[in-house]
């Protein structure tokens, strides 16, 4: 097995001991290390492989400019820009196989930019005193980021923080050894969904798409799944998307913390990726079970799915607002876009006689979609339920036509 090289990044003027400890563990385990210093004011005891001056200059700035600005936030943004550009270039040149960034809130802010600049499949580890914190917005998390809490590590080495730092060092080296590059021998389709108890189209579509030569990746639309979906869509990884579970749009709209960000349902369209969008679980808002209920939903009935997640059904007014929001998001699309509208419902529970049946609410939602569907979107209505085979069949028909029209290219992204 070829020796794997890990890029270790941090402020070597203040975290020299911790960063060198990580590097030593990686070397003890048979890996190699390259170091990148993102300090501003001080210097490490020994030079890093990539100095703070190189980092700043990569982004078109200088360390003196960062110092003279007199603002630590501005200084760190200069280093974040430079480190992201430098790491991206070094990876393309084959310098390293995985990256580990160490920091507190400042270092984590930089780390998110650096890791976002690297392709999916590259091991990306952030060891931080604020790992998993609600201060980290989901839209800044790369699709395959890994975070480890830097416990007891605010100042200096000790046995508590050494335990977490050693595990982090082993984790990134092990990931680099085990990593497999994404295969690009088949066009990749991204799909959003929930489990097949409530949304079943993927059961029919997956084998049918694979028979046609596609690869299908299904993203669980519970906040982070949608974030990963949007991240890959914005990077042009998908040949087409089937965005059938827009519930995260409603979550964000209604103030739930289970959000995929403000840009949910926009990145594929902005990138010109062909997309089919539908209404899976459009009528539900998921809430963090232990969070206070958002004001918009305070007077509505709640259902605890488990200790982590609680759901609430939208009112008619909220469903109309949801429909307008979907249409507004789709209006930015530059590629082929179809809004596939199953007139009989959007999840297994809203069928006639189901526990969430609401014919009046569904009718209001459909009416609002019809009234606000933008000109760049083809509204295709289907007298079926989203879980009927007719829905999956119509999806395949649309995709087959795009293939014949050469709107889907073999290895992701739109046809230009």
Residues 243 and 383 grouped into a single domain: yes
Q: Which of 178, 198, 221 is the last residue of a domain?
A: 178
Report the candidate in 84, 27, 75 with the shortest Cα–Cα distance to residue 50: 84
pLDDT surpassing 80 at residue 138:
no
Which of 189-203, 283-297, 364-378 shows the lowest mean pLDDT across its residues?
A: 283-297
Q: Which is more confident, 120 or 37?
A: 37
409 is a domain residue: no
Residues 239 and 269 grouped into a single domain: yes
* Structural domain boundaries, residue 369: 188-404
Q: Which of 178, 210, 227 is the last residue of a domain?
A: 178
The Cα 180–Cα 5 span in angstroms is 15
414 is a domain residue: no
pLDDT digits (tens, 9 = 90+) for 180-191: 877 778 899 999
Quick one: pLDDT at residue 185? 81
What the block records as the tokens of 133 is 């914190």
410 is a domain residue: no
For the chain, the domain total comes to 2
The Cα 231–Cα 330 span in angstroms is 17
What the block records as the tokens of 70 is 């007199």
Strands (E) across 347-390 are located at 378-382
pLDDT surpassing 60 at residue 415:
no
Q: pTM to 2 decimals?
A: 0.84
27 is a domain residue: yes
Residues 197 and 112 grouped into a single domain: no
Q: Which of 178, 203, 233 is the last residue of a domain?
A: 178
Q: How confident is the model at residue 413 (pLDDT cuts 50, 70, 90)?
A: very low
Cβ-Cβ contacts under 8 Å for 258 (sequence gap 6 or more): 222, 223, 248, 251, 286, 287, 288, 309
Residues 228 and 347 grouped into a single domain: yes
What the block records as the tokens of 49 is 């492989």
pLDDT digits (tens, 9 = 90+) for 366-406: 999 999 999 999 999 999 999 999 999 999 999 999 999 98
The Cα 331–Cα 318 span in angstroms is 20
pLDDT digits (tens, 9 = 90+) for 260-271: 989 999 999 999
Quick one: pLDDT at residue 409? 65
The Cα 143–Cα 249 span in angstroms is 18
Q: What mean pLDDT is predicted for residues 191-217?
A: 95
Residues 32 and 132 grouped into a single domain: yes
Residues 275 and 230 grouped into a single domain: yes
- What does the angle CA 340 – CA 197 – CA 278 come to, to the nearest 5 degrees? 10
Q: Which is more confident, 6 or 288?
A: 6
The domain that holds 385 is classified in CATH as 3.40.50.12030
pLDDT surpassing 90 at residue 290:
no
Q: Tokens 């709107």 correspond to what residue? A: 407
Q: What mean pLDDT is predicted for residues 70-86?
A: 94
């Amino acid at each position: 097995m070829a020796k794997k090289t890990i890029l270790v990044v941090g402020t070597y003027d203040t975290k020299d001991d911790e960063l060198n400890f990580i590097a030593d563990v990686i070397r003890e385990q048979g890996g190699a290390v390259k170091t990148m210093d993102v300090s501003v004011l001080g210097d490490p005891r020994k030079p890093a492989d990539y100095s703070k001056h190189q980092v700043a200059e990569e982004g078109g700035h200088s360390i003196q400019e960062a110092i003279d600005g007199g603002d630590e936030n501005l200084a760190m943004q200069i280093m974040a820009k430079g480190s992201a550009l430098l790491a991206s270039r070094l990876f393309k040149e084959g310098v390293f196989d995985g990256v580990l960034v160490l920091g507190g809130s400042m270092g984590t802010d930089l780390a998110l930019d650096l890791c976002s600049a690297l392709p999916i499949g590259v091991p990306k580890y952030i060891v931080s005193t604020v790992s998993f914190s609600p201060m980290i917005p989901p839209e800044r998390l790369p699709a395959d980021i890994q975070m480890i809490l830097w416990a007891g590590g605010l100042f200096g080495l000790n046995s508590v923080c050494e335990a977490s730092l050693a595990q982090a060092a082993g984790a990134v080296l092990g990931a680099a050894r085990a990593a497999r590059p994404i295969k690009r021998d088949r066009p990749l389709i991204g799909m959003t969904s929930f489990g097949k108890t409530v949304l079943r189209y993927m059961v029919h579509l997956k084998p049918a798409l694979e028979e046609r030569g596609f690869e299908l990746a299904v993203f669980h639309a519970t906040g982070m799944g949608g974030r990963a979906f949007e991240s890959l869509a914005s990077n042009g990884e998908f040949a087409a998307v089937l965005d059938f579970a827009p519930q995260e749009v409603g979550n964000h709209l209604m103030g739930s913390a289970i959000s995929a960000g403000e840009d949910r349902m926009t990145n594929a369209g902005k990138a010109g990726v062909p997309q089919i969008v539908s209404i899976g679980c459009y009528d539900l808002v998921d809430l963090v079970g232990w969070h206070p209920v958002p004001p918009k939903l305070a007077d509505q009935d709640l259902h605890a799915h488990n200790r982590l997640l609680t759901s609430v059904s939208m009112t008619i007014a909220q469903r109309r607002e949801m429909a307008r929001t979907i249409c507004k998001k789709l209006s930015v699309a530059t590629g082929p876009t179809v809004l596939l509208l199953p007139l009989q419902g959007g999840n297994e529970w809203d069928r006639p006689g189901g526990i969430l049946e609401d014919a009046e609410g569904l009718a209001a939602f459909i009416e609002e979609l019809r009234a606000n569907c933008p000109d760049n979107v083809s509204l295709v209505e289907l007298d079926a339920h989203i879980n009927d085979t007719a829905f999956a069949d119509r999806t395949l028909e649309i995709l087959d036509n795009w293939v014949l029209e050469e709107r889907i290219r073999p290895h992701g992204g739109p046809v230009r």
